[in-house]
Each structure stands twice: as structure tokens, then as C-alpha cells.
């Protein structure tokens, strides 16, 4: 394993950081929300695709850059910093990796170039109740037709192609196929989502069965954890800056030890979690056999860590943190959704214990 | 150094270790008596451990990266990493545990004059002299710079009077690295760093009993102790800088200390809590908390590895030693608490029959672990360091 970035990865990270700061700062997210776009910013996604990000995982043969998971993770982290609303996670990570792992030659030929070019977006439809429980799927598939109901599909309202999780494998369904009904959800994080019903909708199964489902969910968890790390890092930096500039009782509030210790603990949690996420991304690139362990480690710790950091973002800003004009609320709302998606800390702790054999 | 040379180094090292590491030194310690601390009063529970120490010391590999001229191994960082991974590969025991290696040596290399280095470093490397740390005093713990032990210039020698507390292993130590007050009119700038021979007339140690029972901690008294002029390290009244640097080394070492207990918390829980029909621990809440702890442990190990890689790449990571100290102490304390909880009444033994040595080790280890967040600077004080030095937050005026 290595934590050292290659030159290529460092360049990618730096350009992602600059892009997000300049082209996609939080003000852009805010405008998207205020314009009631519910997560839609297709112009931004086109710009991101033009940077080559939609095809980071896609091999060059299919029009991508083939830069691997560490590379994509670094970009997701930068996007997390400024709350970029885009299908980067669902399409460039989840969609591309599912097709790479489980697609037939024809399926890869059909979809990967479109993903790499940013022409289509993908969404992963997994949960069937209010909590993440992929093992309890009631999805029915017979004669190439799929039936069932999926809840809170992230980016489901904007996706062209759906990856549908069943107990025995992963299915491809075109979003405009007959028998597919979407209900768009207006969500607390302003990113939007959809409840989707399938009633004898035409489908193709990907290769790999239940193993593929696990692989894809692991990737979804790790990628989201990377995005969450970026959010936490930004939230923490803004908070730390406030501690150094806000005065009360004639002192900088950051000179109060009660706050100093909480800040020092957040710093520690962020650093520890960063190591887990980098290790998880690296495990994906190495195709290691303990990817699942790393996925649960990364997602559980990222969820717990971001929970604390996003709450402190509000609390340490005092009253101003409660106002909509301040960004703290935006981070806290996104945090809660990200914490729960693809399994929260409780889910992944349980899974980790099982993987470790106790 | 080229990759080819490094590969050759690995081959040679492996061959040498194969030949020179006794079989009985290729296993984890089973009891604390087997740990080799060295010094004039050293006892070797197993003759192999003496052999192992001597062979490693001969090559300077008890201090692999220290310069050869003082008896060190003279290895580069890369070579040392290879050596460490080869030692790990055969599960070799550390040949020597030593405050001299971990704390004193590195600051002597940085601050001592040539004579002091020549005199004090080689015996540390060979495990011949055991050192203890005379920092804390009854009135100066967290506020270490408040120390009062008096050191007067008597022309041809220093005269020392005062009391130290918590001097770990002082009763086994040959020498003490000590902080003394050489100017009472200023606080931090009135402290000097001095080396004291524990056999000097006027030095007395008394053991302190801890909540975990008998302990290697002592009170140390200095009454009209004469110390040769050449034993002061650095300049007069310039000891605080050395003291802080030494604390950094201490903190990074303490944070890596294990619980002392040999058994894993999962095994203890399986034994004493049992499994449900799905093979899960039959206490869901405890199971979740153990899993959370295991993740913490993993995150800590990964972060240590990352910091090592960053240091190797030339990054400055010294400022985060306090972060590691806090996290390492918290981790160990949490593990010990979980072990006691998982063991149930099997953790309530103190001595005599009815409890296995492993079980008694869990109990004692738990009590000892409480010191992890106190020794080498309390968790609160280290959080202050992170807040100020790393995050740049200021003091209240
Ligand atoms: C097991 C063990 C081994 C040790 N070994 C050695 C040794 O070998 N050599 C040696 O010299 N010393 C040794 N020590 C001493 C150790 O360094 C001190 O105990 C430690 O620095 C704390 O000092 P104190 O005990 O005087 O506590 P105090 O300084 O009195 O602290 C009491 C409490 O107040 C808190 N506190 C104090 N100041 C602040 C502040 N500014 N902000 C927030 N909280 C604060 C502390 O965190 C603590 O909770 C050892 C201690 C232990 C327990």
C-alpha cells in the first residue's frame, strides 16, 4: 500500500481544487438551490466532463483517461469541499465501475464512451425502505422484466440509466423504458432524489451476481466517503478561521480552551479518517481482496466524523451559523444525507464486525 | 541509494537475521520480565535475550539510524525501513527498551558537544547504561516550567538540591537526565538540562505504589548532590528548548505503546459473552462498540503509516506528535476498558488462584492504561499543543 501520490494524481488534485474554487464555489450551489433546480446544473456537469472527470475510471479504449480510483477519489474530495452538485459520484464512479466490472463487451461498448463523454448520467437504485438494507431486496425479475420499488435514489431524478440492485445481482434499466415511474423528491440537501417504481420494465442483467452488487456498493461507499472528507475539511477550515477572528468577552473565541480542545479533536478525527479513505481508494486500485473491510472502515468513520464536524460548524459559529445566509447549514444538511447513503455508521460497523468474524 | 543496492541490503539483512536472531527471540513477550531494559543492574530472564542484544548492538542496530562514529548503525531511512520490515517478518523481539534510545539519544545528537556524545551515546546503544527522566516535580507537572530543583554554580561543580516525582524506573537507572533551575528570576529561560549519575552521594529514590499495584515509579531526592561541570547539555539556562524537543520524542514513543495484555478483545468477548445462532457476539451493543474500536485502531495504524511515508518524503510531521499521543492514549485506554467489560467478572481478579495470568494481565493493564493520558503530558495539555501549534489558535490574554 502507498499513501504517496503520483505526479499525475497530484496534478489532477490541484486542477480539481482550482476548478471547484473558481467555477463551482458554494455560491454556485446556493444559486442552483435558490433557483429551485433540485440538484440540476447540467452546464456545470458539462464543464466537469470537459475537464475529463466523467471518464477518469474509463479506460482509454472507451474514451476515458483510465486514471484509477485514487485519482477519482481526489477529485470527489475537492468537489465535496464546495458542495458541488453533480452526478460525478453516481456516474463517473458508480456507473463506470459497475459497467467495467460487470458489463458485457457490448454493454461496455454501448455505455462507457457515453459516460466518459458526459453524455449520460447514471444512478444506483438500491434501497427499498428508509434504511440501507441491500440484503433485504424484494425486487422480482422474470423473463427480462423487472418489478419492484426503490426509495431515495440519489440522482435518480436526473439519471438516464439506472443500476438496480437485486438480491442476486445488478440490473441495467433505461430510465425512459416502459414500466418505469419516477417520483421526484425535493430534498433537504437540495440535491434531489427519486422514488422509482418498476413494473415489468425491460432490463439487462450485468455479470457477476451478488458479488458484483457488493463490489459496486463498496465503491459507492468509498467514493462518497472521499466526498465527505472534502466537506469536513472545508467545514473545519472555515470554523478554525472563525475561531481566530471572532471576538467575545474581549478575546478571540478560539482562545477558549473548551473550543480549542474540540477543534483539536476534530483535526485528529479528520486526519485519521483521511488515512482510511486513501487506503480504501488504494485498495480498489490494487484490486485487494479486503476492499469490503476498507469500504466499511472508510464509510463508518467518515459518517461519524462528518456528523461531528458539521454540527460543530453550526455550533461554533453561534447565531450566525443558524442563518440561511451562512454556509454552515448547507454543509450540515448535505452531511446527514451523505452519512446515511449506502449505509450509515451503524450499518458499516455491523458489517465490519461480521467481516472480521465476530 | 539505488534500488539494486537496497535489494542487496535486504538480502544481506535477511541472511544476517536468519543466522543471528535466536529462535526464542522470534515471538512476542509473554511476560514483562522478559523485556530487556539494559543497564548495570540488568537481569536477563533468558540468556538468548543477552545474546540477541549483544549481536544487534555490535552492528549498531539498536539505534539503526544513529551515526556510526558513536556506535550507531549509520543506516539511511530507506535501509532502516527495510531492517524494520525484516525484523517484523520474523516477529523478532526488540532487543532493547530504553529511554536512552527513545528520548535522550536524539537530543544529545542534536544539542550535546562532541565529548558528551562520545561518552554517553555508545553505552546507550549497547544497553550498558539505563537512563531515567527527571522532569516532573510535586509542584510542576503540566506546568513543567514551574520546576524548582535548584542547581547552583560552585565554581568547579554544580550543586543540586530538590525533589523529582514520577521518575519511572529511577530505582533501576544508572543515570538521570534532569531539568534544573539555574535562574530563579525568569521562568522558561531559567532552566538547564543536566545529566546526573544516580550513584552520586545525595541521590535517593523511593518507589510509589500505583492503583495497578507495585510500580516502577519513584520519587527522587537530591540533597547536596555534586555534579561535574561537563554534565550540562547545551548552554546555561538554555534547557527548555531541549526539554521540549525531548518531550516530542517521548510523546511519539508513548503513543505507540500497547496494552500489555496479550489477548485480543474479540477473543475475550467470544469466550465470555458467547455467540448467537448467526455467529455474532451475543451482545449487540458491545459488538458494535468493539467494531468501532477496531476501526479506530485501524485508522490509527494507517495514519501512523501515512505520517511515516510523509516524513520519508521530506514532510515535517513533528508537530503532530501531540495528536498521535492523544489518539494513542485514548485508543489504548478504550481497548482496556472494552477488555474489562468483555471479560465480565473474569476481570475482577487481583492475585492468587482462580484467574489465569492473561486475565490478571487484563485487569492490571486496564489500571495501568489510565496513566497513558497523564504520562508524557496529559491529554488536555497535548490538546492545547495541537490547538496552538497546529491549528494556530491563541492563548487567552
Ligand atoms: C505512569 C506515569 C509515568 C510517568 N513517568 C514520568 C517520568 O518518568 N519522568 C517524569 O519526569 N515524569 C513522569 N510522569 C509525570 C507526568 O509527566 C505528570 O504526571 C504529568 O505531566 C501531569 O502532571 P501532574 O501529575 O502534576 O498533574 P497536574 O499538572 O496537576 O494536572 C492535573 C489535571 O489538570 C489538568 N491541567 C493542568 N494544566 C492544564 C491546562 N493548562 N489546561 C487544561 N488542563 C490542565 C491536567 O490535564 C490534569 O487533568 C509520569 C506520570 C505517570 C502517571
Q: A258: burial class by Cβ within 10 Å (0-12, 13-18, 19+)?
A: exposed
From A146's Cα to the closest Cα of chain B, the distance in A is 31
Nearest residue (CA) to ligand 1, atom 40: B381
Q: What is the Rg, in whole angstroms, of the alpha carbon atoms belonging to chain A?
A: 20
**B274-325 per-position pLDDT tens digit:** 999 999 999 999 999 999 999 999 999 999 999 988 887 877 777 789 999 9
Q: How confident is the model over A16-29, as a mean pLDDT?
A: 98
pLDDT band at B33 (very low <50, low <70, confident <90, very high): confident
Q: Please give the positions of B annotated as active site.
A: 250
pLDDT band at A210 (very low <50, low <70, confident <90, very high): very high
Across the interface, whether the CB atoms of A264 and B323 are under 8 A apart is answered yes
pLDDT band at A16 (very low <50, low <70, confident <90, very high): very high
Residue pair B335/B265 in contact (Cβ under 8 Å)? The answer is: yes
pLDDT at res. B261: 64
Cell of A171: 440490473
pLDDT at res. B335: 95
ipTM of the complex: 0.85
Residue given cell 558537544 in the structure block:
B113
pLDDT at res. A154: 97
**B129-160 per-position pLDDT tens digit:** 999 999 999 999 999 999 999 999 999 999 99
pLDDT at res. A169: 97
- Return the number of other C-beta atoms located less than 10 Å from residue B211's C-beta: 11
**Residue A119: C-alpha distances to residues A46, A110, A202 (Å):** 8, 12, 22
Q: Is the pLDDT of residue B258 over 60?
A: no
Across the interface, whether the CB atoms of B299 and A297 are under 8 A apart is answered yes
**B335-387 per-position pLDDT tens digit:** 999 999 999 989 999 988 899 988 998 998 898 898 899 998 999 999 999 99
Distance B376 CA to ligand 1 centre (A): 7
Which of A2, A243, A297 lies at the smallest CB-CB distance from B298? A297
Residue pair A66/A57 in contact (Cβ under 8 Å)? The answer is: yes
pLDDT band at B2 (very low <50, low <70, confident <90, very high): confident
**Residue A237: C-alpha distances to residues A232, A273, A298, B277, B322 (Å):** 8, 16, 21, 47, 20
Which helix (H) or strand (E) segment holds residue A210: the answer is helix A209-245
Give which of B245, B249, B175, B230 is closest to B205, Cα–Cα: B175
Which of B280, B292, B306 lies at the smallest CB-CB distance from A3? B306
Q: How many CB pairs under 8 A join A and B?
A: 126
From B128's Cα to the closest Cα of chain A, the distance in A is 38
Percentage with pLDDT > 70 across chain B: 98
- Return the number of other C-beta atoms located less than 10 Å from residue A186's C-beta: 11
pLDDT at res. B217: 87
Phi and psi, residue B182, nearest 5°:
-110, -5
Phi and psi, residue B33, nearest 5°:
-65, -20
- Return the number of other C-beta atoms located less than 10 Å from residue B307's C-beta: 20
Q: pLDDT higher for A299 or B43? A: A299
Residue pair B391/B321 in contact (Cβ under 8 Å)? The answer is: no
Tell me the C-alpha distance between B342 and B346, whole Å: 9
Q: Which residues from chain B sit within 8 angstroms of residue A272, using beta carbons?
A: 296, 299-300, 302-303, 327
Tell me the C-alpha distance between B199 and B320, whole Å: 37
- Contact A247/B at CB under 8 A: no
Burial string for B129-159 (b: 16+ CB within 10 Å, else e) reads bbbbbbbbbeebbeebbebebebeeeeeebb
Across the interface, whether the CB atoms of A268 and B327 are under 8 A apart is answered yes
Q: Is the pLDDT of residue A353 over 70?
A: yes
Give which of B136, B220, B217, B129 is closest to B179, Cα–Cα: B136
- Contact A109/B at CB under 8 A: no
Low-confidence winner among A308-317, B256-265, B374-383 (lowest mean pLDDT):
B256-265
CA terminus-to-terminus distance, chain B: 51
Q: How confident is the model over A339-343, as a mean pLDDT?
A: 96
Q: How confident is the model over A333-341, as a mean pLDDT?
A: 95
Q: Is the pLDDT of residue B256 over 60?
A: no
Q: What does pTM read for this prediction?
A: 0.88
- Contact B373/A at CB under 8 A: no
Phi and psi, residue A82, nearest 5°:
-110, 20
Low-confidence winner among A91-100, B202-211, B260-269, B370-379 (lowest mean pLDDT):
B260-269
**Residue A283: C-alpha distances to residues A267, B101, B309 (Å):** 24, 36, 17
Q: How confident is the model over A4-24, as a mean pLDDT?
A: 96
**B226-236 per-position pLDDT tens digit:** 999 999 999 99
Give which of A355, A341, A227, A337 is closest to A297, Cα–Cα: A355
Which helix (H) or strand (E) segment holds residue A105: the answer is helix A105-116
For ligand 1, whether the C-beta of B168 sits within 6 Å is yes
For ligand 1, whether the C-beta of B377 sits within 6 Å is yes
**B75-108 per-position pLDDT tens digit:** 998 899 899 999 999 999 999 999 999 999 999 9
Residue pair B110/B245 in contact (Cβ under 8 Å)? The answer is: yes
For ligand 1, whether the C-beta of B80 sits within 6 Å is no
pLDDT at res. B209: 86
pLDDT at res. B54: 97
Distance B143 CA to ligand 1 centre (A): 8
Tell me the C-alpha distance between B63 and B86, whole Å: 16
Across the interface, whether the CB atoms of B393 and A244 are under 8 A apart is answered yes
Q: How confident is the model over B265-277, as a mean pLDDT?
A: 94
- Contact B302/A at CB under 8 A: yes
For ligand 1, whether the C-beta of B142 sits within 6 Å is yes
- Contact B396/A at CB under 8 A: yes
- Contact A265/B at CB under 8 A: yes
Tell me the C-alpha distance between B183 and B189, whole Å: 8
Amino acid at each position: 500500500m502507498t499513501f504517496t501520490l503520483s505526479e499525475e494524481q497530484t496534478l489532477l488534485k490541484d486542477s480539481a481544487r482550482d476548478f471547484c474554487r473558481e467555477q463551482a464555489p458554494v455560491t454556485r450551489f446556493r444559486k442552483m438551490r435558490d433557483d429551485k433546480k433540485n440538484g440540476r446544473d447540467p452546464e456545470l456537469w458539462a464543464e466537469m466532463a470537459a475537464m475529463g472527470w466523467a471518464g477518469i475510471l474509463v479506460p482509454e479504449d472507451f474514451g476515458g483517461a483510465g486514471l484509477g480510483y485514487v485519482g477519482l477519489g481526489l477529485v470527489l474530495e475537492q468537489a465535496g469541499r464546495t458542495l458541488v452538485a453533480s452526478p460525478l459520484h453516481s456516474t463517473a464512479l458508480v456507473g463506470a465501475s459497475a459497467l467495467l466490472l460487470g458489463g458485457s463487451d457490448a454493454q461496455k461498448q454501448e455505455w462507457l464512451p457515453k459516460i466518459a463523454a458526459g453524455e449520460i448520467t447514471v444512478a444506483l437504485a438500491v434501497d427499498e425502505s428508509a434504511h440501507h438494507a441491500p440484503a433485504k431486496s424484494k425486487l422480482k425479475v422474470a423473463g427480462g422484466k423487472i418489478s419492484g420499488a426503490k426509495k431515495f435514489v440519489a440522482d435518480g431524478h436526473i439519471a438516464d440509466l439506472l443500476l438496480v440492485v437485486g438480491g442476486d445481482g445488478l440490473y441495467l434499466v433505461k430510465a425512459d423504458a416502459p414500466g418505469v415511474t419516477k417520483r421526484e423528491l425535493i430534498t433537504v440537501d437540495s440535491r434531489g432524489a427519486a422514488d422509482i417504481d418498476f413494473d415489468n420494465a425491460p432490463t439487462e442483467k450485468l455479470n457477476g451476481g451478488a458479488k458484483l452488487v457488493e463490489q459496486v456498493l463498496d465503491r459507492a461507499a468509498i467514493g462518497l466517503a472521499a466526498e465527505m472528507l472534502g466537506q469536513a475539511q472545508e467545514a473545519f477550515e472555515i470554523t478554525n478561521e472563525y475561531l481566530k477572528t471572532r471576538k467575545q468577552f474581549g478575546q478571540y473565541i478560539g482562545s477558549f480552551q473548551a473550543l480549542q480542545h474540540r477543534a483539536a479533536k476534530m483535526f485528529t478525527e479528520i486526519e485519521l479518517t483521511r488515512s482510511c479513505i486513501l487506503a480504501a481508494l488504494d485498495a480498489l486500485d490494487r484490486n485487494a481482496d479486503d476492499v469490503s473491510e476498507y469500504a466499511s472502515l472508510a464509510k463508518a468513520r467518515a459518517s461519524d466524523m462528518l456528523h461531528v464536524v458539521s454540527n460543530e460548524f453550526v455550533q461554533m459559529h453561534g447565531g450566525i451559523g443558524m442563518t440561511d445566509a451562512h454556509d454552515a447549514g448547507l454543509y450540515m444538511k448535505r452531511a446527514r444525507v451523505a452519512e446515511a447513503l449506502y449505509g450509515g455508521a451503524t450499518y458499516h460497523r455491523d458489517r465490519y464486525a461480521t467481516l472480521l468474524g465476530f | 541509494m539505488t534500488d539494486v543496492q537496497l535489494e542487496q541490503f535486504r538480502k544481506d539483512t535477511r541472511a544476517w537475521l536468519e543466522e543471528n536472531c535466536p529462535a526464542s527471540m522470534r515471538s512476542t513477550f509473554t511476560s514483562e520480565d522478559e523485556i530487556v531494559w539494559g543497564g548495570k543492574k540488568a537481569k536477563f530472564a533468558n540468556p538468548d535475550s543477552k545474546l540477541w542484544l549483544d549481536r544487534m548492538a555490535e552492528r549498531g542496530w539498536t539505534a539503526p539510524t544513529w551515526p556510526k562514529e558513536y556506535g550507531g548503525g549509520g543506516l539511511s531511512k530507506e535501509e532502516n525501513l527495510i531492517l524494520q520490515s525484516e525484523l517484523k517478518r520474523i516477529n523478532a523481539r526488540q532487543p532493547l527498551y530504553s529511554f536512552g534510545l527513545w528520548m535522550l539519544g536524539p537530543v544529545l545528537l542534536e544539542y550535546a558537544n562532541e565529548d558528551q556524545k562520545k561518552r554517553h551515546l555508545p553505552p546507550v546503544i549497547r544497553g550498558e547504561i539505563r537512563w531515567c527522566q527527571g522532569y516532573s516535580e510535586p509542584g510542576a507537572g503540566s506546568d513543567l516550567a514551574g520546576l524548582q530543583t535548584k542547581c547552583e554554580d560552585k565554581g568547579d561543580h554544580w550543586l543540586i538540591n530538590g525533589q523529582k516525582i514520577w521518575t519511572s524506573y529511577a530505582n533501576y537507572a544508572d543515570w538521570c537526565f534532569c531539568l534544573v533551575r539555574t535562574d530563579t528570576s525568569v521562568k522558561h529561560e531559567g532552566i538547564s538540562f543536566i545529566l546526573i549519575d544516580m550513584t552520586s552521594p545525595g541521590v535517593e529514590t523511593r518507589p510509589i505504589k500505583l492503583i495497578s499495584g507495585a510500580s516502577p515509579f519513584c520519587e527522587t531526592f537530591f540533597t547536596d548532590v555534586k555534579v561535574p561541570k561537563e554534565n550540562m547539555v547545551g548552554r546555561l539556562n538554555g534547557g527548555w528548548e531541549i526539554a521540549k524537543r525531548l518531550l516530542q520524542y517521548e510523546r511519539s514513543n508513548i503513543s505507540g505503546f500497547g496494552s500489555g495484555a496479550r489477548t485480543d478483545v474479540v477473543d475475550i468477548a467470544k469466550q465470555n459473552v458467547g455467540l448467537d445462532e448467526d455467529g455474532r457476539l451475543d451482545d449487540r451493543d458491545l459488538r458494535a462498540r468493539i467494531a468501532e474500536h477496531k476501526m479506530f485502531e485501524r485508522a490509527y495504524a494507517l495514519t501512523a503509516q501515512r505520517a511515516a511515508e510523509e516524513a520519508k518524503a521530506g514532510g515535517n510531521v513533528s508537530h503532530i506528535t501531540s495528536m498521535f499521543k492523544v489518539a494513542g492514549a485514548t485508543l489504548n485506554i478504550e481497548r482496556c476498558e472494552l477488555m474489562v467489560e468483555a471479560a465480565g467478572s473474569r476481570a475482577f481478579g487481583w492475585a492468587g488462584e482462580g484467574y489465569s495470568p492473561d486475565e490478571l494481565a487484563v485487569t492490571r493493564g486496564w489500571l495501568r492504561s489510565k496513566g497513558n493520558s497523564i504520562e508524557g503530558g496529559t491529554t488536555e495539555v497535548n490538546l492545547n499543543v495541537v490547538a496552538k501549534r497546529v491549528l494556530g489558535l491563541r492563548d487567552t490574554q
